Amino acid sequence: MHHPDALAELPAFFAANGSTPPWAQRQAAMIRRCRWLEAFTNAWDANGPAVALWQQRARTVADWHEHDGIR
């Protein structure tokens, strides 16, 4: 989401780590991170625009599929 220009590097990243986690695990990790950032931004600006941004990003990630060709 933040670095679309680096998507081509993911295979090398996973190879360097020795494995590619299953899609469901990777997607769940991305959603957890979005939720963490939502809570973080809510702590310093309750219900501010950044909170809504991270809520939307979590929904976006939840709609992604492994074979969309861009993940």
Domain boundaries, the chain: 21-71
Neighbours of 58 (CB within 10 A): 19
pLDDT at 8: 87
Amino acid at 27: Q
Q: CB atoms < 10 A from the CB of 21, how many?
A: 12
Q: Give counts: helices (H), strands (E), the chain.
A: 3, 0
pLDDT digit string, tens, across residues 19-62: 999 999 999 999 999 999 999 999 999 999 999 999 999 999 99
Output the pTM of the full model: 0.82
Coil vs helix vs strand at 35 = helix
